[in-house]
Amino acid sequence: MGRLARTSCRVLGHTGAWTCLGGGCLRVRTCRRCGEVEQEQEHAWGEFEYLTADRCEQERRCRRCGRAEARVLHRWGPWQYVGPDSFLLKLQQVHTCRRCGVQEQTDFERAF
């Protein structure tokens, strides 16, 4: 294809219909103007679900190709102060996941 077609595609973007290969998640199209072939993945994700009742790992799967994607989603309780109040500038706070019991700790600076 010519230089004009390639310039048009740089400015306007490619044209043409996307086609799924083999019913999977890989989509392909050939630009009608310049002939360039593009590929992209487009999954049909299901909802995230917890793997077990007492853990925070979640997983979801693509309904077309079966690919899995994972994440961790804690259900944090409120922050609480840890240790005695010694009127120091830095105090420590902790909160606990209501689902798996893991704790996360952070320093809290007072503003006097």
Other C-beta atoms closer than 10 Å to the C-beta of 34 total 19
- Are residues 85 and 69 part of one domain? no
pLDDT recorded at residue 74: 97
Give this prediction's pTM: 0.64
pLDDT > 70? residue 14? yes
Give 88's pLDDT tier (boundaries 50, 70, 90). Answer: low
Write the pLDDT tens digit of every residue in 39-76: 888 899 999 999 999 999 999 999 989 999 999 999 99
**Domain extent at residue 17:** 3-41
Number of domains the chain is built from: 3
User: Which carries the bigger pLDDT value, residue 95 or residue 23?
Assistant: 95
- Are residues 52 and 68 part of one domain? yes
- Are residues 52 and 37 part of one domain? no
pLDDT recorded at residue 111: 67
pLDDT > 80? residue 10? no
Closest-CA residue to 74 (of 96, 107, 41, 53): 96
pLDDT recorded at residue 12: 75
State the average pLDDT for the chain.
86
Residues 6+ apart with CB under 8 A from 60: 45, 46, 47, 48, 49, 68, 69
- Are residues 102 and 84 part of one domain? yes
